[in-house]
Amino acid sequence: MPERADAARNRRAILLATEELLTRLPPEQISMEQVATAAGVGKGTVFHRFGNRAGLMRALMQERAMVLQQAVVDGPPPLGPGAPPRERLLAFVDGVIEVVSRNKGLLAALDHADAVVQARIPGEEPPPLHALWHRHIADLVHDARPELDADVIAHLLLASLHSDPIQRLLATEGGAERVAGGLKTIINAVFVGPRG
C-alpha cells in the first residue's frame, strides 16, 4: 500500500531534521524530542514512525544507502549501466566507501556495519541492501571473468568493509582513501586475465 502524502512528508521532514542535527551533534546526543522539534512534528510521530533513536538512525542510513543503489540501477555511467564491468565496479567501490565513511558515526551508533547488512529497501521485503550490493559485485565480476567464483569474491570484498580494523581506519584522516585504494588494487588484480 502506498504511503500517504502527509506520512511521506513527515518522514522526509524527520530524516532531513536528523541529517541537520547530525552536522552538529554525534548520533548518541540526538534525542527524539530534538528531532521532532526540528522537523515540526510531534514527538509521538517520530516514535510511531521509527520506534526509537536506533530505528531513526537506521532509517537514515538506509536512505543514504538507497541513493547509491538507485545510481547503480539507473544512474549515469560509470556507476550506472553502460560502462565496462571494471569501471562500474571501481565506481561502485567509491560509492560504497563514501556511504560508509560519510556515515561512520551512524554505523558506530548502530554497531558498525550492521545497518548496511540489515538495511531493507523501504516498502519492500528482503533482500537487504547487502544482498543487492553482493549481487551487483558478483554480476560485474562474472561478466568480466566468468571462470572465477564471483559469488565468493563479492562476499570477500563486502566483508572487508564490516571488519573492526577497517571501520577504525575509515574513522581516521585519509582512511577512506586508503580503504578505497586497497579495494581498487584487489579489484584490478581480479580483472586481470583473459578478458581483463
Q: Render pLDDT for 101-156 as a digit per residue (tens, 0 to 9).
A: 777 666 666 654 344 445 544 554 444 777 888 999 999 999 999 999 999 999 99
Same structural domain, 71 and 156: yes
In a domain, 196, yes or no: no
How high is the pLDDT of residue 111?
53
Same domain for 43 and 63, yes or no, is no
Segment 85-111 mean pLDDT: 81
C-alpha distances out from residue 138 to 54, 149, 158, 188, Å: 31, 8, 11, 15
Rounded Cα distance, 115 and 104, in Å = 11
Residue with cell 520506534: 51
Same domain, 78 and 10: no
Contact between 62 and 114 (Cβ < 8 Å): no
- Name the domain boundary from 10, 32, 51: 51
> What's 8's domain CATH number?
1.10.10.60
Query: Is the model more confident about 91 or about 120?
Result: 91
92 and 184 share a domain?
yes
* Mean pLDDT, rounded, for 183-195: 86
Structural domain that includes position 106: 54-191
23 and 58 part of one domain: no
* Number of structural domains found in the chain: 2
Average pLDDT of every residue of the chain: 84
